[in-house]
Structure 1
Amino acid sequence: MTERPAVLFVCVHNAGRSQMAAGFLQALAGDRIDVLSAGSEPKDRLNPVAVAVMAEDGIDIAGSTPKLLTVDAVRESDVVITMGCGDACPIFPGKRYEDWALDDPAGQDHETVRRIRDDIRVRVETLIDELTA
């Protein structure tokens, strides 16, 4: 791993789970970890419920935009965390890969998305501890 690790969060639409994870990692790790997020089939905008529940936790992801997953994004990353995108993510030797089994927040109510958000936060906090130990 490089001196400052890079983490890539990937989900299908890059509009909910991966954006929430990236928002938490950026807010909680600051400049200790580089943060990327992408999707195998990105939407044109973020899930508004995801934006709202993140704001409740003091994290503003409203300015983020869904991005297409590229081979370069995977190549730049030390850790690649997938969330329901299956085999869409290219595999490179020497990378750490994890798949976080998380419900998709698309079409869900605020309470459900809050539970997903809280699960993501715990996972991101653990990841930060592992990468900065």
Structure 2
Amino acid sequence: MTSPPPADPLPDEAVRPVGIDLTMGCGDAYPIVPGRRYPDWPITDAEGAPTAVVVVRGIRDETDAHIPITELLGAPAST
């Protein structure tokens, strides 16, 4: 079994208005844009893991343990 090809980077016009670049502990280097925040959430890397629902749910739960995205954006959480 071979790995899928890497995803193409998003075009500049798609990411220019973004104010937060969330990284997930991968250690990859990204360009720094003045005025953006760069929080890093160390999330388990799913690469090479079985695609079982249990693995995906564990990663989801790790993500949920961090601050909700609505708080990062300063938007009110929906109820």
Query: Under a length normalisation based on structure 2, what TM-score does the superposition of the two structures give?
Result: 0.62
Fraction of identical pairs, as percent: 41
Distance 2:5 2:21 in 1: 23
TM-align CA RMSD:
2.6
- Structure 2 partner of 1:61: none
1:98 aligned onto 2:39: yes
Between the two structures, name the one with larger relative contact order (CA 8 Å, sep ≥ 6). 1
What residue number does 1:54 align with?
A: none
> 2:63 and 2:48 mapped to 1: Cα distance?
18
- The structure where helix makes up a greater share of residues is 1
Counterpart contact for 1:74–1:80, Cα < 8 Å:
no
Please report how far the alpha carbon of residue 85 of structure 1 lies from its aligned counterpart in structure 2 after TM superposition.
3.7
- What is the number of residues matched between the two proteins? 69
Aligned twin of 1:44: 5
Partner amino acid, structure 2, of 1:128: T
The structure number with the bigger radius of gyration is 2
Question: Once the 2 structures are TM-superposed, how far is the Cα of residue 119 of structure 1 from its aligned partner?
Answer: 1.7
The structure 1 residue matched to 2:8, chosen from 67, 71, 80, is: 67
SS state at 1:79 partner: coil
Give the letter aligned to residue 119 of structure 1.
E
Q: Secondary structure at the match of 2:58?
A: helix
Q: Deviations over 1:7-64 (max 9, x none)?
A: xxxxxxxxxxxxxxxxxxxxxxxxxxxxxxxxxxxx537xxxxxxxxxxxxxxxxxxx
More strand by share: 1
| Residue segments in structure 2 that go unaligned for 5+ positions in a row | none
Aligned AA (2:68): T
**1:129 equivalenced with 2:75 (yes/no):** no
